[in-house]
Structure 1
Amino acid sequence: MLSIIFISVICIIFIVLGVAISKYKCYWLISGYNTQSKEEKSKVDIEKIAKHMGRMCYLIAFLIFIGAIVSKYFQISILPFIITLLIIVFGYLIYMQKFDHNKKSKSEIMVMVVIGFITFAIMIITFSFGNETNNIIIKEDAIVIDGSYGITLKREDIKEIKLVDNIPEIGFKSNGYSDGGAIKKGDFKLENGEKVKLYVQSNKGPYIKISTVNFDVYINYKDIYFNKPII
């Protein structure tokens, strides 16, 4: 519930920005325009830029909201929505350059290309590492969950290990990774504020639940179904 409220607030902010820029001519909200000289501003078709900037804000709000709803209730990865969002943003930014008749240097164009490439690269790398499965290593004195956001659970801190069919309702991610669908790993908080650690690859149970003195850990995998008692 908290995550949906947070997403809704972000969407409303983008809609308000879109209306303010395109309808109420709040051109000072457009990055870089205020810092231009009068001569430079005279060479900018600011009304057309504002119109397209407003449309871009509306599309961003729409994609964020639809992506959040689809990923939460249909357990579909949010990655396609993020890629589409980035394409729209950079596409609009490049397209709107045609309404700015000030001469652009090669370095300015190169900076935009490099920023776009770095953004896509970081996104792909993040999703690649985040989607890797965390292996469980059983030792005499500890259980080690390796990989990204991994943890070592000491034997003396473990109170119980069992199978459960469901996990509690997740409130939000505090320090972890989520693809917006089934995959979640790292530190999360439940809707009641309780801290848990998730290493979840599928939205279908059962899950291994490891209760420790400080928090609960939930684990499952896409292709492994646990049907034996955990002792």
Structure 2
Amino acid sequence: MLYLIIGMSLLFLVLAFAVNTNNARYLLSGYNTMTEEERANFDLKGFLKQFKSFHIFLGLSFGIFGVLLFFQWGQNVVGWFLGLFPILAYLVFIIRARRYDHNPPRYSYWAIGALLVCIIGVSTLLIYGDQNIDFVVQDQKVHISGMYGADFEIDDIESIRLVDELPPITSKVNGFAMAPVFKGYFRTKAGDRVKLLVLSKASPLLYIQLKNGEELYYVPEDRSAEKEFEQIAIGRISNST
């Protein structure tokens, strides 16, 4: 996460100096599709001055605040920052940059609308990612809440054990992934499709394999999964007696 913050910060700083009057017609989105008449009604020099100042500010503020948030509050808060800060910054930039375009409004409203949709989508995803998961063992049944939760009988379990770490994960099939939180279906290095309900870096994790072949890894927030393992183990023992 820290490398991502630094990398994005440097990218914004590079953008500040990458676009100029000589290459704007090739690199600047929107301007490169204008007709010559439309370009004549566009204050390119004024826009590029703001473009440069904005990306210098964005690069420095993103790097400084991102690093401070990372060390002060951890990755969950940084996830919100990474997801929303650049989008909000670009929204303000697009609104302010409209004064340099003296053509009839065309794309700016679409761009603003698209950014607002992104803000809503990212916020929804982050809110879902922050939700806790209820793991309940009762009456020989296991209930796991949430979009990627599950309901199954203890008799449906083929094997159960505690493991120190996840298998190597190569890709996300469907779900939410923002370390240390992983929810949904993922693909392992061995090619297996597994369900992850991982809310922290705590260890050991609970591994459950059902008789239908589904594999599940679970660990709650800020503690290991030993409690859930003991509850299921007791249920299996009572079933066998």
For the criterion TM > 0.5, the same-fold answer is: yes
Correspondence for 2:147: 148
Judged with a 3 Å threshold, the aligned counterparts in structure 2 of structure 1 residues 110 and 13 are, in CA distance, closer, same or farther, namely closer
- Indicate whether 1:76 and 2:53 are aligned: no
Shift of 1:81: 1.7
Number of equivalent positions? 220
Q: How is 1:84-99 mapped onto 2 (pairs within 5 angstroms)? A: 84-99=85-100
| C-alpha spacing 1:192/1:29, structure 2 compared with 1 (3 Å) | farther
8 Å contact 1:174–1:187 — kept in the other structure?
yes
Letter in 2 for 1:76: Q
The structure showing larger relative contact order (alpha-carbon pairs under 8 Å, at least 6 residues apart) is: 1
Counterpart position of 2:129: 130
Give the TM-score taking structure 1 as reference length: 0.68
Check the 8 A contact 2:162/2:204 in 1, yes or no.
Answer: yes
Q: Is the 8 A contact 1:164 1:207 kept in 2?
A: yes
Q: Secondary structure at the match of 2:75?
A: coil
- 1:27 is displaced (CA, Å) by 2.0
Q: How far has the Cα of 1:80 moved from its partner? A: 1.1
Aligned residues with identical type, % of pairs? 23
One-letter identity of the residue aligned with 2:100 = F
Counterpart amino acid of residue 35 in structure 2: S
User: What corresponds to 2:196 in structure 1?
Assistant: 198
For residues 28-39 of structure 1, the aligned pairs below 5 Å read 28-39=26-37
Q: Which amino acid aligns with 1:165?
A: D
Q: For structure 2, list consecutive stretches of 5 or more residues without a partner in the other structure.
A: 234-241
Q: Distance in 1 between matches of 2:183 and 2:168?
A: 15
What is the TM-score normalised by the length of structure 2? 0.66
Change (3 A) 1:185 1:18: same
Separation in 2 of the partners of 1:193 and 1:89? 39
Deviation string 1:86-145 (CA, Å, 9 cap, x unpaired) is 12222322232232233548xx76655544443322222222223222333547786443
- RMSD over aligned CA atoms reads 4.3
Give the deviation of 1:175 after TM superposition. 0.7
Partner of 2:184, secondary structure, is strand
Q: Return the structure number with greater helix share.
A: 2
What does 1:1-231 align with in structure 2 at a 5 Å threshold? 21-22=19-20, 25-50=23-48, 53=51, 76-77=75-76, 78-104=79-105, 113-138=112-137, 143-153=142-152, 158-178=157-177, 180-212=178-210, 214-222=213-221, 224-227=223-226, 230=230, 231=233
Conserved in 2, the CA contact under 8 Å of 1:141 and 1:154? yes
Q: Distance in 2 between matches of 1:79 and 1:183?
A: 13
Q: Matched residues in 1 for 2:20 and 2:102: separation?
A: 20
Unpaired runs of 5+ in structure 1?
none
SS at match of 1:175: strand
CA distance in 1, matches of 2:185, 2:166: 14
When Rg is computed on C-alpha atoms for both structures, the one with the higher figure is: 2
Partner SS, residue 209 of structure 2 = strand
